[in-house]
Structure 1
């Protein structure tokens, strides 16, 4: 169980599902459909949905690429966390938002697997959260031109594998499929 006291709720975190971020992503249509399924399930069960939205000099706030993909949209009242770094906790109000909601367990989805998703997973567990990666609800583009030795398929499979075997004292980590997600803690 999470090392965070009085935080027994779970939240679904949707990282950077923005037009420019996923434009060249691996199996984006399938990932979007899986995230959409999870959002519907979370909302019907009163599980908070937290949206993370990246901006930087190459993708400024308000630009077309900065917008969420049209198939996925925050509902009224759902938190939107603006970020500039890979880890969704760095210089954002994600931690205070989760604290206010009583959340100690995160279900993580989004993009890019080998950047913001992975950074946020590690940031969450380092901060005391139980963290579940939805293995068929995250994507990445081909990063080999920037030095990655892995294809998108390999990067996703590797991240799914190692997160399933990650552990820390008093915290749990796991990788599950969309069908296996249990929002109950």
Structure 2
């Protein structure tokens, strides 16, 4: 149960599944397929789908790399949040978008695990949201040449620790695509 008042709804958050972000990412096709299946399910169940797209000097707004992965398409009625920081809440209207729909629970997918996904799940949790990370619907590129663990270990570690995250009055969980339930958690720690 979220600490946000009068926010019983759930939304699917799709973070940075953009051509220039996921091209070459670990298990890209499987992850994008899982994201697509969740988007399709959310639409059928009337769950809001909120799209986040990053832009900066390397990822220019409107460029082919900035576009969503070609397997995905945003409906005009679905909010698009454009960001320039890792945390999807920082310097954006994401909080306003979610509040307008009464959302207190986020089901999170996207890229990159060790950057924007991680920043956003922590940012959401710190703001009082219940946060479910979809363990097989986020990915990252191989940054091992810079000292990072391999992508499979980054993803595995993130899934592991997020499943044990806790806080008063709010919950965190890691589930796979097939186990996603689009309803607010009951309880909290």
TM-score surpassing 0.5? yes
Give the aligned length.
Answer: 184
Mind listing any 5+ residue stretches in structure 1 that lack a counterpart?
none
Q: Who is 1:13 aligned against? A: 13
Following TM superposition, by how much is the alpha carbon of 1:178 offset from its aligned partner in structure 2, in angstroms?
0.3
Structure 2 counterparts to residues 27-106 of structure 1, below 5 A: 27-106=27-106
TM-score (norm 1): 0.98
Q: Which runs of 4+ in 1 moved over 3 A?
A: none
* Inter-partner Cα distance in structure 2 for 1:20 and 1:184: 32
Listed one character per residue, the Cα deviations across residues 62-84 of structure 1 (whole Å, up to 9, x for unaligned) are 11100101101111210000000
Following TM superposition, by how much is the alpha carbon of 1:184 offset from its aligned partner in structure 2, in angstroms?
1.9
Q: Who is 1:132 aligned against? A: 132
TM-score (norm 2): 0.96
Listed one character per residue, the Cα deviations across residues 43-75 of structure 1 (whole Å, up to 9, x for unaligned) are 001000000000001111011100101101111
What RMSD, in angstroms, separates the aligned Cα atoms of the two structures? 0.6
Q: Who is 1:157 aligned against? A: 156
* Inter-partner Cα distance in structure 1 for 2:147 and 2:63: 28
* Inter-partner Cα distance in structure 1 for 2:63 and 2:76: 21
Q: Who is 1:176 aligned against? A: 175
* Inter-partner Cα distance in structure 2 for 1:134 and 1:116: 14
Mind listing any 5+ residue stretches in structure 2 that lack a counterpart?
185-189
